[in-house]
Amino acid sequence: MILVANIFLILMAYYFIKPVREGWLSVSLFEGFSQLEVKAYSAFGQSLLLLAVLPVYATLASVWTRRELILRTGLGFGALLLLFWLVQPDLIWEQVPFAGIVFYMFVGIFSVTLVAQFWSFAADIYGEERGKRLFPLVAIGASAGAAVGAWVGERLIRLEYVQAFDLMLLALVPLGAALSLAMWSDRRGTYGDPSDWTKARWKQPAAPTNAGAFRLIRQNPYLAGTASMVLIFSWVVASGDNILFGLVQESVRGNLAALDGDAAQFSRMVNAATTAFYGDLYFWVNVCGLLLQAFFVSRILRYGGFMTLILVTPLVSLVAYVSMAIAPVIGVIKAMKVAENASNYSINNTARHVLWLPATKEMLYQAKTAIDTLFVRVGDGLAALTVLIGTRIIVLDLVNFLFINVFLVIVWLGLAIYLARENKRLRQGVPAAGSGPVTSIA
């Protein structure tokens, strides 16, 4: 229950700042680039930034204990949130160049790093057998935190005395509470009476050796397959998000065209309308995700097995993008994105975390972090490249972009089937072809 509360608070903090990201980006204009391109290229910038950050993180994980790693990473993110609040438009300076884009990249790294770190910590504590039983329960905290964060954030910005950017300061409260719970769960151990194993882990680095994330991924087919699947599904989801963002900006700017003569007022109204739209979208995504997590995920895993669990979301995405291609209007695309993202944040997230239960500590704190951050953002970058080619070179229409996603979902399905089979082999103690034995942490 401490871990349920921990991930609840992490996701609550994230969904306080996520709509702010979209709103700030909506008023970060660059001559000659559409809003769709600005969003897509900003996502690509996250990948480049992570290439520099990940080797540093891997080194720190091999030096710091897991408690130090979690605490110092969280405090660093909190300090950056305060800095971004200070450089918001019209507070100290009228407009800090590129601040909205840098904040967009920061929020993407904030979410994937803290969430990946949490699940590495949870797998480290529980091991394979207990983790498989309890991860669906722990993940309810993530779904609930996302839903509550989106709901509370949306209502806070409706208050007269709370500005959208103030959500960055308010996010520091759940983030600080989450760090406190992580310290508590590390001290108490699994049952509240620390075992010799727990006391030994207090003194050990999070990853006992610096094996190197990319070397681990390159040498192990199971990790390489996991990285490939994460990249593909991130590409699919980011492309869908980019399509929706472009349509939202067209709709919002069309509705506010009468204010176009007053640049400052127009910019504020576009920011507020975009933030409100995404606050509502994230609310419904997370409510549906919570219902799926609470009532369906554990039952799918229990009765259908891991193969069924990992295949559900790509099948939902396949239906969603075919439906969007048939009726490419903002209402249909919003509804289908709610279905896809809700399934992704509940069913698919749980499947991805179960994939890591038969893993070593080096895999958890180095390879998992790299895959759940860099490969997620590389997928975002490929979505940006798709936009670049489809808008500047080939000139594709909306339906063509949607059919590209249909093809990618089929590849995603193939990788999911492969990983489900390999996961079964690893749980039975049979190493994947071409790799050495994988030692379970259990």
356 — pLDDT class (breaks 50, 70, 90): confident
Question: How far apart (Å, rounded) are the C-alpha atoms in residues 37 and 21?
Answer: 16
Per-residue pLDDT for 434 more than 50? Answer: no
Q: Are 25 and 101 in contact (CB under 8 A)?
A: yes
Residue type, 337: K
Q: What is the pLDDT of residue 440?
A: 37
Looking at per-residue pLDDT, the higher value among 308 and 363 belongs to 308
Q: What is the pLDDT of residue 29?
A: 63
Q: What is the pLDDT of residue 405?
A: 92
Q: pTM for the whole thing?
A: 0.71
Is the residue at 59 inside a domain? yes
Mean pLDDT within 320-333: 85
Per-residue pLDDT for 417 more than 70? Answer: yes
SS3 65: strand
Is the residue at 438 inside a domain? no
Is the residue at 67 inside a domain? yes
Distances (CA, A) of 211 to 55, 216, 217, 251: 11, 7, 10, 49
Q: Are 288 and 151 in contact (CB under 8 A)?
A: no
Q: What is the pLDDT of residue 441?
A: 33
Is the residue at 111 inside a domain? yes
Phi, psi for 65 (deg, rounded to 5):
-70, 165
Q: Which residue has the tokens 């005395």?
A: 161
Q: What is the pLDDT of residue 32?
A: 65
Distances (CA, A) of 291 to 147, 342, 393: 10, 9, 42
The region of weakest confidence among 290-304, 372-386, 403-417 is: 372-386
Nearest to 242 by CA among 31, 51, 389, 84: 389
Looking at per-residue pLDDT, the higher value among 441 and 44 belongs to 44
Is the residue at 435 inside a domain? no
Looking at per-residue pLDDT, the higher value among 39 and 297 belongs to 297
Residues, the chain = 442
Is the residue at 440 inside a domain? no
Q: Residues 6 or more apart from 160 whose CB is under 8 A from it? A: none
SS3 205: strand
pLDDT digits (tens, 9 = 90+) for 77-130: 999 999 999 988 878 887 777 788 888 888 888 888 898 899 888 888 886 777
Is the residue at 84 inside a domain? yes
224 — pLDDT class (breaks 50, 70, 90): very high
Per-residue pLDDT for 300 more than 80? Answer: yes
How many structural domains comprise the chain? 1
The percentage of residues in the chain with a pLDDT greater than 70, rounded to a whole number, is: 92
Structure tokens at 389: 């080619």
Residue type, 60: L
| Mean pLDDT computed over every residue of the chain | 83
Looking at per-residue pLDDT, the higher value among 187 and 275 belongs to 187
Nearest to 170 by CA among 24, 15, 27: 15
Taken in order 34, 39, 41, 45, the sign of the CA dihedral is positive
Q: What is the pLDDT of residue 122?
A: 87
Angle of CA points 327, 41, 333, to nearest 5°: 15
- The CATH number for 26's domain is 1.20.1250.20
Per-residue pLDDT for 437 more than 60? Answer: no
Q: What is the pLDDT of residue 435?
A: 43
Q: What is the pLDDT of residue 280?
A: 83
- Structural domain span for residue 257: 2-427
Distances (CA, A) of 223 to 93, 136, 198: 46, 22, 27
Nearest to 211 by CA among 67, 55, 414: 55
Nearest to 113 by CA among 56, 168, 167: 56
pLDDT digits (tens, 9 = 90+) for 9-65: 999 999 899 888 877 877 766 666 666 677 667 777 777 888 888 888 888 888 899
The percentage of residues in the chain with a pLDDT greater than 90, rounded to a whole number, is: 27
Q: Residues 6 or more apart from 372 whose CB is under 8 A from it? A: 112, 115, 116, 119, 230, 352
Is the residue at 203 inside a domain? yes
Residue type, 262: D
The region of weakest confidence among 182-186, 351-355, 418-422 is: 351-355
Question: How far apart (Å, rounded) are the C-alpha atoms in residues 61 and 111?
Answer: 18
